[in-house]
Amino acid sequence: MVDSFASADLPADVIGFKYPFPCLAEAIGKGGPIRIVAMGSSSTAGREDVLPYPYWLEMYLRRDAAPDGNSRIDVINRGRGGEEADKELDRFREDIFALEPTLVIWQVGTNAVFHREDYDIDVVAQKIAAGLDLLCADRTKMDVMLIDPQYVTAMLLDDKAELSERMVALISEKAELAKVNVFHRWALMRHWHVHNDISFERMLDPTDSAKLHQSDASTQRLSRGLCDTILKAARSAGS
């Protein structure tokens, strides 16, 4: 059931942002329109019957961003399954810059671990840094944030647990150098598993034999936390 994650924590000390979102704050203050681009791989694009986070995020933001609930907000899904930072960089011009977004959300790093035989994560980290340089070239035009990998069975099996932790650390490192926020999906889902005693079976899409993708309920709850954290960062910029 979608409501089975209603008791899952969304702790601010885990998912809270360090930096404000001034571009989003200004756009909300004007009543929109607001265009948010979600760049990433399969957990952005969506899979089979699981609604991806951009769908839920748009719904929550439209409801909560303004007192009257009528802010004109579109979350444009530019996820593409199986991609990593190298291929996503090639799409920036058409799938991000051409759309002139207020906020860019870049979900990255999962495939570098899941398909570790195809990647050097240090090279992936360099690509992330290069992408952030492009995205942050003019901070008056758009806000930027990252989402790190999901804490799921496929990212912990064999030798992947250590590699996952390293990828998460590298993402945080590159984000801090660029002074952009990271939504710590890895830490949040680990919190659910360790502190809320939520099993991997509940967090995972039951149709995914690879045990990589989140369930509908898990994705929806994560999106609730993402919305709240984004709006808090926007409000801190406007205060």
Rounded mean pLDDT of 198-202?
A: 94
What is the C-alpha separation between 96 and 100, in angstroms, rounded? Answer: 7
Kindly state the tokens that stand for 166: 């390293």
Give the tokens for residue 25.
Answer: 């704050």
Element (H, E) at 104: strand 103-107
Given a cut of 70, is residue 238 above it in pLDDT?
A: no
From the number of C-beta atoms within 10 Å of its C-beta (0-12, 13-18, 19+), residue 156 rates as: middle
Give the three-class secondary structure for 144.
strand
Beta strand 73-79 with 103-107 is unpaired
Per domain, the residue ranges of the chain are: 2-238
User: Does the structure show a pLDDT above 90 at 70?
Assistant: no
pTM score: 0.96
Taking only the tens place, the pLDDT of each residue in 125-146 is 999 999 999 999 999 999 999 9
More confident residue, 49 or 51: 51
Best CA proximity match to 8, nearest among 221, 166, 160: 221
| Other beta carbons less than 10 A from residue 19's beta carbon | 18
**What per-residue confidence (pLDDT) applies to 197?**
93
**Average pLDDT of span 214-224:** 95
The region, left, alpha or beta by phi > 0 then psi within -120 to 50, assigned to residue 179 is left
**Partner residues linked to 77 by β-bridges:** 38
Residue 171: phi and psi, rounded to 5, are -60, -45
Task: Say what the pLDDT of residue 48 is.
Answer: 76
- Mention the CATH class of domain 2-238: alpha beta
Residue 189: HSE in the Cβ half-sphere, 13 Å Cα cutoff:
30
pLDDT bucket at 158, cuts 50 / 70 / 90: confident
Could you give the CA distance from residue 224 to residue 231 in angstroms, rounded to a whole number?
11
Q: How much is the pLDDT for 68?
A: 72
d(CA 120, CA 96): 25
Residue that is written with structure tokens 């990647």 in the block: 119
- Does the pLDDT value for residue 1 go beyond 60? no
Q: How does residue 69 score in pLDDT terms, banded at 50, 70 and 90?
A: low
Q: Quick one: which of 138, 105, 132 has its CA closest to 36?
A: 105
Q: What is the mean pLDDT of residues 95-112?
A: 98
The whole-number pLDDT of residue 3 equals: 46
Tokens of 233: 């960062």
Confidence of residue 50 (pLDDT cuts 50, 70, 90): confident
- Mean pLDDT for 167-189 is 98
